[in-house]
A and B are shown apart, each in its own frame.
Chain A
């Protein structure tokens, strides 16, 4: 009955085919093209200490947020509060330094991550137990968490004087030619990508997003998985807050505002389907790289940066249309293959 010999082909040929068909490849090519054009116009875009560092360092915050966002979106939810969690965590860490100027860096990291994870836990509990759509819940907590930060911070600022120099230097130093923050983002991305691909919990997140009703029938622990996604998204937003505090050498009540939509955009542009069930961490990372590099490149190639948002918007819509088209095309192909296998 098997008429399909081709999909069984394994090894190098199939591997190359998969790489070319992968959704991530297109985004990566777009990223390389933008970088190449900007470098053509102005070689310092890559080939200068500042240019190189900008290229790698500026996207790290968005990459971390996009990783968490991707996990949430894969479960067919969304987390709009990551920008506010980022801000509140950054502010909290700053306050810890005000109270304990000699706190070890590792403690600051733990404070930021735990703070973010708790805020994510609140999101996850409301979504899974009260069964309120994540869009509504996290839209609410976006304002609530930001409101807490505003109440707490008022018009005060954390400025460089409040932060120990070794913490500040973390945000600006490199190991060999790779900024330390970038290394952190890469390590997180590798772990998250590996877990989502290779652990049962990761695969179950895809299953839940692919068909929540089927996941329940299947007996998967949907509540626990969705809760985990929100906690991880919160924790990563908290970590982002710590890195921001270090890199920016300061924070205010408005730190991180606006990042939530960029995070969603990065994930979606990177091929994480907005209705869940498909997409990869790698895609989300490249999506974040692309969005960030476009905004860096526009001024270089002489396009006023007011166009940056329009281009980001166009990219999101293009990505969603592309997903839709690819889905329809692959469904048609699969149905045809299915029918052919019964002839």
Chain B
């Protein structure tokens, strides 16, 4: 152990903590040390295991193995209540308050001050709330209901709650993601004040400038594993990015060369206020364009807007030179756009129905004779695509709900390929899919591009982006911050553009 010989044990120590969900390993080696009077940054790509660590500390998940110590003593939190009573408070990105109850009640729920007859002392409780707000330097009405509070104020309520519990450990999970500049400043002032009171604070963020401005020490994670830890002064953005992404990429995704032709999709300055701004790009036939960026950067929203599911206020979308109407998925489909959504179980498939039914879902009208669709009409089409995509199902009548994630994804893709699309949008095509099937999906996407299809691929997995894409567009907070050719796209350049808004947002 590295901390032998220290005088006092760290406030919170996690060592080699692991957690799996069935076959999916969420955390292989969670190692984290939090010291009192210090703000510690926890960084990593999406899926690096940060949230899993947070949930284990919070008592929401229980670790499978490894060691967790609070002030030198092993702890096993089975419920959030246990973690809380041990002095650990977690402030989530989207706080969860009780909308119907007052701000004061939200802070003190379950441990309100009481008078005789175990009656809640409302006046005392209100005074305590006002005291807390005075300490935090904020003016929130203690009597108003929590409904309608801004995210920033909801976080303040959570922090007030943590202070009133006298939490010695505060975990802030991406607290600044939804805050404005002024709100971030206010939060940082409070965080520093709490640090100076001797509390241990963990700060999770994707914004490097904030990490350098606020934190004292840092831990980097990648793929569920601890990578490095040390004082913030001894690291730099470049080192951090390399640690976050560093991995051999080229060998995993053998992209086949394809002939790149005319633009299929032209997106011209589409804007939806508050969601994405001035998005302009094109996708040519035979080309795979990756839309990279962090979760919440607005990538899926852009894809959904192009397909017509979500609105956009200004700008235009053209397919093969013809304008695609806004908010009309049916005509997008007719025009030749297919969307393989991120949530394939919820949005891509009808789980209780068969492989054949799902495969022919998008071409039902065309297949039907006199409005009636029979298995004898469905099955030949479904069989052709199922074998082309190597869907591993015992029969075409198998319910798709019983298939593995990878095979479900193949069925969703088969559904769209049956419509003979010109542009295929795939949103996180391999999320939650095992490694073997992953390369099947990659080979398939590559093949389709080779046949002249334009592909727009949203992916949070950098290796996938770098391995598959002819061109990489990087989004940050609703804007495209970089456009990189395959040759220029590296983990570092993509990650840098994904975390730095300043480059192109002027």
> Is B84's CB under 8 angstroms from A219's CB?
yes
Of A2, A207, A273, A335, chain B has the most CB atoms within 10 Å of the CB of A207
Query: B98 and A211: CB pair below 8 A?
Result: yes
> How many angstroms between the C-alpha atoms of A278 and B99 in the bound complex?
10
Q: A11 an interface residue at 8 Å Cβ cutoff?
A: no
Given A1-B139, A277-B98, A341-B139, do A207 and B109 touch, yes or no (CB 8 Å)?
A: yes
> CB < 8 Å: which of A2, A203, A277, A331 contacts B109?
A203
Chain A residue nearest to B150 (CB atoms) is: A338
Which residues of A1-44 have CB atoms within 8 Å of chain B's CB atoms?
A: 1-4, 7-8
Residue A337 lies at the interface, judged by CB distance under 8 Å to chain B: yes
Residue ID in chain A nearest B161 by CB atoms = A218
Interface residue A217 (Cβ < 8 Å from any Cβ of B): yes
B101 CB–A CB distance under 8 Å: yes
B81 adjacent to A219 (CB under 8 Å): yes
User: Are A206 and B100 touching (Cβ within 8 A)?
Assistant: yes
Measured in the bound complex, the distance between the Cα atoms of B229 and A143 in whole Å is 62
Question: B105: CB under 8 A from chain A?
Answer: yes
Chain A, residues 179-215, CB within 8 Å of chain B (1/0): the string is 0000000000000000000111001101101110111
> In the complex, which residues of chain B have a beta carbon less than 8 angstroms from the beta carbon of A273?
100
For residue A46, give the distance in angstroms from its CB to the closest CB of chain B.
36
Q: Which residues of B are found within 8 Å of A215, using beta-carbon distances?
A: 98
Q: Does B143 contact A (CB under 8 A)?
A: yes
A7 touches B98 (CB 8 A): no
Residue of B nearest to A219 (CB): B81
B16 in the interface, Cβ–Cβ < 8 Å? no
| Proximity string of chain B (77-92) to chain A, C-beta cutoff 8 Å, 1 when within and 0 when not | 0011111110000001
The secondary-structure label for the interface of chain B is loop
Q: Given A7-B141, A217-B96, A219-B81, check contact A199 B149 (CB 8 Å).
A: no
Q: A332 — which chain B residues lie within 8 A by C-beta?
A: 148
Task: State in angstroms the CA–CA spacing of A72 and B145 once bound together.
Answer: 22
Cβ-defined contact, A331 with B147, below 8 A: yes
A56 contacts chain B at the CB level, 8 A cutoff: no
* Docked-complex contact B110 and A217, CB < 8 angstroms: no
Contact of B119 among A198, A331, A335 (CB under 8 A): A198
Instruction: Return A21 CB to nearest CB of chain B, in Å.
Output: 13
Give the distance in Å from the alpha carbon of A330 to the alpha carbon of B80 in the complex.
Answer: 32
- A-B pairs with CB below 8 Å: how many? 109
A interface residue count range (under 10 / 10 to 19 / 20 to 34 / 35 or more): 35 or more
CB–CB B119/A210 < 8 A: no
Contact in complex: B141, A214 (CB < 8 Å): no
From A3, A8, A200, A214, B96 is in contact (CB under 8 Å) with: A214
Confirm or deny: B118 has a beta carbon within 8 angstroms of a beta carbon on chain A: yes
Report if A278-B100 is in contact (Cβ < 8 Å); known contacts: A204-B110, A334-B145: yes
Q: How many whole Å from B223's CB to the nearest CB in chain A? A: 27
A207 touching B120, Cβ below 8 Å: no
A169 within 8 Å of B by Cβ? no
- Using CB atoms, name the residue of chain B closest to A275: B100
Say whether B98 contacts A207, CB under 8 Å: yes
Residues of chain A with a CB closer than 8 A to B99's CB: 210-211, 277
- Residues on B with C-beta less than 8 A from A278 are 100
User: Are A213 and B101 in contact, with the CB atoms below 8 A?
Assistant: no
Contact of A342 with B by CB under 8 A: yes
Name the B residues within 8 Å of A337 (CB-CB): 141, 144, 148
Chain B residues close to A by CB (< 8 Å): 58-60, 79-85, 92, 96-101, 105, 109-112, 114, 117-120, 138-141, 143-145, 147-150, 153, 182
Q: List 28 A-B contacts (CB under 8 A).
A: A2-B141, A7-B143, A8-B143, A198-B119, A198-B120, A199-B118, A199-B119, A200-B110, A200-B120, A203-B101, A203-B105, A206-B98, A207-B109, A209-B100, A218-B80, A218-B109, A219-B59, A219-B83, A220-B81, A220-B109, A220-B110, A331-B147, A333-B148, A334-B148, A337-B144, A338-B150, A342-B150, A342-B182
